[in-house]
Amino acid sequence: MPLQWAIVFLPWLGAAGLAALPRLRQAAAANVAVSAAGFAIALALAAQPFAQHGWTRADALNLPFLVLSAFVGLTTAVFSAATLDREGFDHWRIRAYHAAYQVFMGAQFLALLADNMGVMWVAIEIATLATVSMVALHRTPAAFEAAWKFFILCGVGIALALFGTIVLYLAAQPLLTAGNGLSWAALMRVAPDCAPGTLNLAFVFLLLGYGTKAGLVPLHSWLPDAHAEGPVPISAVLSGLLLNAAMLAVLRAKAVVGANPEAIAPGPFLLALGLASVLLAAVALWRRRDARRFFGWSSIEHMGIAAFAFGLGGAAANLAGLLHLLGHSLAKSAVFFGVGRAALAKGSQKISDIGGLVTTHPALGWGLAVAIAGLAGLPPMLLFASEFRLLAVAAAEVPWLALALALGMVVAMAALVTVLQAMCFGPATPGAAGTLEGWREAAAAAPLWLHLAVATGLALAMPAGLAAMLAEAARMIG
């Protein structure tokens, strides 16, 4: 069985096993073990040359994200192993949580690796179902609200995506040979000769469908609430992984349509949605009281920035966009680790209740401060490099839009800075009995710092192979 399939099926088998493990300790350990195995396979896969196996393909576009997903999945598993006992789950929910987690991981890998657009759609649907169940896990009315909203909106979204997929096939049908229907590679091959009108129709539905999952304005409404409910690790993987998968799906669609000269240019659509996301999120950030909602909105902003980059097109802007996705996954999940830990320590996730972390929990406080600063686009994180690249290119090509983008970034940055000051520096707020004993403290802190280190390393000393891969990917998606 090729590694590409192994990495998908291993988590699902693990899920089956985890569903049978009632004890927290073992389940958490097994969860970490499975995730670690997934990470190992991902690395091995990255070492192999690009290849296609049936419905899956490993290419420059998805391999970096595959490795990233496996990495974030592993760190998140570690973090949840350290903090999950605070959630006070009974054994049913422990089983459900871990099973759903691994189901989601498998679906995520499949969605990234899928070469067949239909398979990709199915994978994203499975991921949605898994995450919905995890968001609803707390069984509070608020959790149900958020889960239901998430479910309905994304359900409609993927329904639209399916329609888009069908239309896409219809467009390519006359040129495709029987076997390779819906294969992205095949579609790319025949795209230049497809009926442009049909491609346009397909693109609109794919964009709106997967764009809903990527949280682009005006399809974003589910995102902040979904990030605010459920266990913290869910927020981390939602922001860190699921959004990337959706954005990659949009990119594949964009690549197909962009390959056809007669079809409409897909760029302006992405530009418009991206700019709208950045601007709306930038102002909405100022009204947030709840830390996790706040960072959910910041995810919308960053997805908007990435969409803007891809809308701009061209090797430089695309590279900036890909880097931005990578950097955002690392920084945002790191921030969620920090916020989750802080919420444990302070017994609340309201921004007003989390204060003076630097004085009460120095390591956590400074780690969170650096992470938020990195999220605001300050060095030395990867987001700084990507935003620099994007703004530089945008300023050269579309000065006025670049100005609007920069305006949004400044406003959002000011909001982030304000929250950073409030949470890390302000007067220390009374803490709850949130101390983790022994290894848990370290295990809860390590992922945060690890992410920061990786993000910094990628920004300043990216491995040549990875850089080359990303450059090729940037060319691939046109």
Partner 1 sequence: MSFGQLGYDMAHLLGGGVLLLSFVLLYQRRIGAVINAFAMQGALLALAAAWAAHSQGVPGLYLTALLTLAAKGVLIPLALHATVRRLDLHRTVETALGIGPSLVAGVGLVALAILVVLPATEGARALAREDLALALSVVLLGMLMMITRRNAISQVIGLLSLENGLILAAIGVAGMPLVVELSAAALVLMIAVVAAVFAFQIRERFDTLDTASLDEHRGERR
Partner 2 sequence: MLTVLALLVGALLALGVAALPLARSAAGAKAVHGACVAVGALVVAGGLAGLLGGAAAIALPFGPPWGPLRLALDPLAAWFLLPLGIVAGCASLFALGGVRGPVPARLLLPWPIFLAGMLLTILAADGFTLLLGFEAMSLASWALVAHDTAAAENRRAARVYLGFAGFGGLSLILAIGLSAGGAGDVAFAALREAPPEGWRAAAVLALVLAGAGSKAGLFPLHVWLPLAHPAAPSHVSAAMSGAMTKVALYVLARFVFDLMGPAQPLWLGAPLVALGAASAVLGALRATLEDDAKTLLACSTIENVGLIVIGFGLALAFRGADLPALAALAAAASLLHALNHAVFKTLLFLAAGEVLHGALSRRLDRLGGLIHRMPWTAWAALVGVAAAAALPPLSGFASEWLLLQALLAAWRVGDLAFQMGVAAATALAALAVALAAAAMVRFWGLAFLGRPRSPRAAGAQESGGAARIALLVPAVLTVLLGILPGVMLDLAEPALRQVSGAAAPRAGLFAVGAADGGARYWPLAVALLLAAAIGAALWVVRRAAPRGLARGPAWDGGFIAAPAHLPFGDPATQPSAAGFAQPLRRMLGESLLAAREHVTMPPPGSTAPATLETGFRDPVLAALEGPLPRWREAVAAQAERLRGLSIRQCLGLTFGAVVLMLALLAWLEAR
166 binds partner 1 (CB under 8 A): yes
CB of 443 to partner 2, least distance (A): 21
| 453 makes contact with partner 2 (CB under 8 A) | no
Based on CB atoms, which residue is closest to partner 2, 95 or 149? 149
Q: Which does 32 bind (CB under 5 to 8 A by kind): partner 2, partner 1, none?
A: none
Pick the closer one to partner 1 by CB: 152 or 407: 152
From partner 1, partner 2, none, interface partner of 198 (C-beta below 5 to 8 A by class): partner 1
Token pair, residue 283, equals 């102002």
Q: How far is CA 212 from CA 97, 128, 243, 323, 457, in A?
A: 24, 12, 10, 21, 32
Cα→Cα distances 136→129, 133, 267, 279, 394, Å: 11, 5, 36, 30, 40
Closer residue to partner 2 (CB): 167 or 444? 167
Q: Which of the stretches 22-30, 139-147, 232-240, 316-324 binds partner 1 when contact is defined by CB under 8 A?
A: 139-147
Nearer to partner 2 (CB atom), residue 86 or residue 149: 149
Are 365 and 357 in contact by the 8 Å Cβ rule? The answer is yes
Out of 166, 188, 414, 432, the only residue in the binding site for partner 2 (CB under 8 A) is 414
224-263 positions binding partner 2, by CB under 8 A: 224
C-alpha distances out from residue 115 to 53, 105, 184, 226, 463, Å: 9, 18, 5, 29, 26
DSSP 318-377: HHHHHHHHHHHHHHHHHHHHHHHHHHHHHT--BGGG---HHHHSHHHHHHHHHHHHHHTT
Q: Does 24 bind partner 1 (CB under 8 A)?
A: no
3 state SS of 285: helix
* 63 sits near partner 1 (criterion: CB under 8 A): no
Contact between residue 190 and residue 261 where contact means Cβ atoms under 8 Å apart: no
The DSSP line for 420-460 is HIIIIISSPPPP-S-PPPTHHHHHHHHHHHHHHHHHHHHHH
Residue span 66-85 as binding mask against partner 2, x where in contact by CB under 8 A, dash where not:
--------------------
Touching partner 1, residues 261-290 (CB under 8 A):
287-290
Pair of tokens at residue 17: 């096993």
Distance separating alpha carbons of residues 306 and 325, to the nearest angstrom: 7
**Token duo for residue 241:** 């992984």
210, 218 Cβ separation under 8 angstroms: no
Is residue 151 within the footprint of partner 1 (CB under 8 A)? yes
**Cis, bond preceding 447 (omega within 30 deg of 0):** no
How big is the site for partner 1, counted in residues (CB under 8 A)? 53
Q: Which of 47, 396, 442, 453 touches partner 2 (CB under 8 A)?
A: 396
Q: Is 397 in the site for partner 2 (CB under 8 A)?
A: yes
Residue 434 burial by CB count (10 A; 0-12/13-18/19+): exposed, middle or buried? middle
Query: Bridge-partner residues for 58, per DSSP?
Result: 51
CB of 348 to partner 2, least distance (A): 20
Binding flag, residue 364, partner 2 (CB under 8 A): no
Residues in the chain: 478
Q: Is 350 in the site for partner 1 (CB under 8 A)?
A: yes
Choose the one of partner 2, partner 1, none that binds residue 66, judging by a C-beta under 5 to 8 angstroms depending on kind. none
70 binds, among partner 1, partner 2, none (CB under 5 to 8 A by kind): none
d(CA 458, CA 452): 10
Could you tell which of partner 2, partner 1, none binds residue 141, using a CB distance below 5 to 8 A set by kind? partner 1
Q: Measured between alpha carbons, how far is 294 from 223 in angstroms, rounded to an integer?
A: 11
Contact of residue 410 among partner 2, partner 1, none (CB under 5-8 Å per partner type): partner 2
46 binding partner 1? (CB under 8 A): no
115 binds partner 1 (CB under 8 A): no
Interacting residues toward partner 1 by CB under 8 A = 116, 118-119, 121-122, 125, 129, 132, 136, 140-142, 144-149, 151-152, 155-156, 158-160, 162-163, 165-167, 169-171, 173-174, 178, 181-182, 195, 197-198, 200-201, 225, 228, 287-290, 293, 349-350, 352
